[in-house]
Structure 1
Amino acid sequence: MKRIAFIAVLTLLGHMSQAQSPATTFAEKLGYPKGKKIIIMHIDDVGMSYESNQGAIRAMEEGVANSLSVMMPCPWVPGFVHYLKENPTVDAGLHLTMTSEFKDYRWGPLAGKPQVKGLVDSEGALRKGVRDVVKNATPDEIEIEIRAQLARAREMGFEPTHMDSHMGTLFATPEYIERYLKVGMEEKIPVMFPGGHNTVAQSQEELVAEQLQMTRKVGQMLWAAGLPVLDDLENSSYGWKEPESGDKSPEALQAYKTEKYIQALENVKPGLTMVIMHCTIHSEIFPHISDSWPTRQGDFLAMIDPKLKAYIEKEGIILTTWREAMERRKKIK
């Protein structure tokens, strides 16, 4: 999420008194041990391409990643859903997609252009940027497309464990946030929203106390609706492009990204935190989709690095999933 997301929350909820740090984390409320870092190692952009699918599968089967979300309008969704049917315990959610950001590799809305004209550009695809979506798409169109993506998942036999937002588009205006939260609460599907102490998010987004309090009020609302809530969100990995040396070899990317993840986990405070990443295997094709391949390949290589696994075990970090968090929440009255 960008800083605009939290400003939108501020506008949505109105002014409140100065923020106070929650006495009890949402992780503790869910029954996780007090004082422990409870981490969801989460992969975005699954279903976007063959490389994205394989990167996610291998990062979970061979590494420490343990959760992911799927871009339902994208071409390689069937391939991943077929994998899910053979592996039904995988923690898989919806990466709700309102944009199609690449130049030559595009996808359109699942609701169809007549239903969501404001989301569609001159190529018949979803718009490339968040600002363009905000300029053209109504909250009603956003909700229609959210529900269309959920409907496709269910028609394919895929019941998502959670929902989040591709490129943070659903956090771009108060009205979009409201529709996102509304669908999650109505459908009883956990939504990615950092509603707790937000130590890392506060640092990354430069939140003032009033904005921080707004996120906590949303967290309380989601908890009251029977959903688990994140205490924090670590969302900086996409900016870790490549080593300063410019070396893009697999060995250099792995060493660089692994160290970055260790540093990030070091800065996380106790509570339930979602760490976001994008994992792809490398191919001759993917660089023609996006020049982000070094950071995506680096994420994958970091997840399967024994050094990262050893650090997590040494520090006593507990890995969990949205599925487990929701199961715990259901047991609490």
Structure 2
Amino acid sequence: MKKLSFLLFCFVTVFVSAQTSETTYAEKLGFPKGAKVLILHVDDAGMSFDSNEGAITAMTKGVANSCSVMMPCPWVPAFVAFLNANPQIDAGLHLTLNAEWKNYRWVPLAGKTNVPGLTDTEGNLWKGVGDVVQHASADEVYKEIKAQLDRAITMGMKPTHLDSHMGTLFASPEFLKQYIRLGIENQIPVMFPAGKATLIQAQQKFSDQQMNQFRQVGKNLWDAGLPVLDDLHNESYGWTIPDDVKNDDKKLQAYKTQKYIEGLKSLQPGVTMMIMHCTATTEVFKEISDSGPVRRGDMLAMIDPALKKALQDEHIILTTWRELKERRDKVK
């Protein structure tokens, strides 16, 4: 998920306000009071060969410890084969309603005839978030995300969580309902920042009233037996890389690692998910997207010893979605 849409504000009419709790969800899950707990999460697994290689490198040779898979994409079978051979990997679903690239596209798993509002004139998923909001119904959205979950299960995956590619499921109150519905019905945690959420509030400029509405959604998820995030760090895709750094791995690693270290220092007590897009870019990736340096930098940062040391220096506890659900199951 690159950006939480400002349209998330719209669900003000759906949920009532809730007061901020002084107890973090991390504490409710049994972590020490005041602990900074972190999921280092890689988006876009399955999107391409390079995406798969980057995610695997970041998690097996670096400090990243979670990922999510874009089920409609061409390189999903290869990544799921890796997951089935490595069941300890924390892997969820990056629920996908967009195919945003120019010449590298994918179609809905539910089929065009079942979800016509999710497809463009070529039969692919829409490129833009706004197009999905304009054309798709909530029923079509549910059919598609359910189809993505069904495919994952059929392939042998046991998704540890759900999140949203490009934040599209946050772009409409009705879409958001379907996202939460899928998680609760299947008892799969959903990515939703609903604690104090200091980082995401500052990034998205949410008001206190809007954050109270988020917290009510979080309470609903918690009451349904699912773990809830305190906060979300979703800035890395927007970091502007200097031109003289983009094509120099050493400089790129140093730049991105420092940005992540700054991110670690910004964490507040509670459980936070930090999003990245680790990619082992080859000469082919530029034919998909011009975001290669951003994504390669993420991978290089995750394998940098300096980042591992910073995690220790900041006394950060790493966790996974699997652990959060196990902890939630033990809480009465």
**Interval containing the TM-score (normalised by the shorter chain):** over 0.9
* Residue 223 (structure 2) pairs with residue 215 (structure 1): no
Matches within 5 A, 1:266-285: 266-285=265-284
- Contact between 2:39 and 2:319, CA under 8 Å: does it hold in 1? yes
> What residue number does 1:104 align with?
103
Take 1:243 and 1:253, find their aligned partners in 2: how far apart are those partners?
9
Give the letter aligned to residue 9 of structure 2: I
- 3-state secondary structure, aligned to 2:110: coil
Give the letter aligned to residue 105 of structure 2: R
* Residue 256 (structure 2) pairs with residue 257 (structure 1): yes
- Contact between 1:55 and 1:300, CA under 8 Å: does it hold in 2? yes
Q: CA deviation at 1:8?
A: 2.5
Give the letter aligned to residue 12 of structure 2: L
* Residue 41 (structure 2) pairs with residue 39 (structure 1): no
Q: CA deviation at 1:6?
A: 3.4
> What residue number does 2:11 align with?
9
> What residue number does 1:325 align with?
324
> What residue number does 1:129 align with?
128
> What residue number does 1:227 align with?
226
Q: CA deviation at 1:245?
A: 4.2
Matches within 5 A, 1:115-126: 115-126=114-125
Q: CA deviation at 1:12?
A: 2.4
Take 2:106 and 2:283, find their aligned partners in 1: how far apart are those partners?
21
Residues 3 and 71 (structure 1), Cα distance of their counterparts in 2 relative to 1, 3 Å cut: closer
Q: CA deviation at 1:247?
A: 4.2
Q: CA deviation at 1:222?
A: 0.3
Query: Which deviations, in whole Å up to 9, do the C-alpha atoms of 1:168-187 show, x marking residues without a partner?
Result: 00000000000100110111
Take 2:43 and 2:271, find their aligned partners in 1: how far apart are those partners?
18
- Contact between 2:8 and 2:173, CA under 8 Å: does it hold in 1? no
- Contact between 1:243 and 1:256, CA under 8 Å: does it hold in 2? no
Residues 140 and 3 (structure 1), Cα distance of their counterparts in 2 relative to 1, 3 Å cut: closer
Give the structure-1-normalised TM-score. Answer: 0.97
> What residue number does 1:73 align with?
72
Take 2:275 and 2:14, find their aligned partners in 1: how far apart are those partners?
25
Give the structure-2-normalised TM-score. Answer: 0.97
Q: CA deviation at 1:265?
A: 1.2
Q: CA deviation at 1:5?
A: 4.3
Query: Which deviations, in whole Å up to 9, do the C-alpha atoms of 1:94-153 show, x marking residues without a partner?
Result: 000000000000000000000000001111110000000011000000000010000000
Take 2:235 and 2:299, find their aligned partners in 1: how far apart are those partners?
15
- Contact between 2:5 and 2:168, CA under 8 Å: does it hold in 1? no
> What residue number does 1:289 align with?
288
Q: CA deviation at 1:9?
A: 3.1
- Contact between 2:39 and 2:274, CA under 8 Å: does it hold in 1? yes
Give the letter aligned to residue 56 of structure 1: A
> What residue number does 2:175 align with?
176
Query: Which deviations, in whole Å up to 9, do the C-alpha atoms of 1:241-289 show, x marking residues without a partner?
Result: 3136454311111111111111111111010000000000020100110
Take 2:137 and 2:8, find their aligned partners in 1: how far apart are those partners?
20
- Contact between 2:41 and 2:66, CA under 8 Å: does it hold in 1? yes
Query: Which deviations, in whole Å up to 9, do the C-alpha atoms of 1:23-56 show, x marking residues without a partner?
Result: 1000000001111110000000000001000100
- 3-state secondary structure, aligned to 1:13: coil
Residues 246 and 302 (structure 1), Cα distance of their counterparts in 2 relative to 1, 3 Å cut: closer
Give the letter aligned to residue 12 of structure 1: V
Take 2:36 and 2:205, find their aligned partners in 1: how far apart are those partners?
22
Take 1:139 and 1:43, find their aligned partners in 2: how far apart are those partners?
27
> What residue number does 1:151 align with?
150
Query: Which deviations, in whole Å up to 9, do the C-alpha atoms of 1:37-89 show, x marking residues without a partner?
Result: 10000000000001000100010011110000000000000000100111011
- Contact between 2:42 and 2:66, CA under 8 Å: does it hold in 1? yes
* Residue 94 (structure 2) pairs with residue 95 (structure 1): yes
Take 2:242 and 2:268, find their aligned partners in 1: how far apart are those partners?
26
- Contact between 1:37 and 1:271, CA under 8 Å: does it hold in 2? yes
Take 1:289 and 1:34, find their aligned partners in 2: how far apart are those partners?
45
Give the letter aligned to residue 124 of structure 1: G
Larger displacement relative to structure 2 (241-250 or 217-226): 241-250
Take 2:165 and 2:94, find their aligned partners in 1: how far apart are those partners?
6
- Contact between 2:278 and 2:296, CA under 8 Å: does it hold in 1? yes
Take 2:192 and 2:219, find their aligned partners in 1: how far apart are those partners?
11
Give the letter aligned to residue 234 of structure 2: N
Q: CA deviation at 1:20?
A: 4.5
- 3-state secondary structure, aligned to 1:118: helix
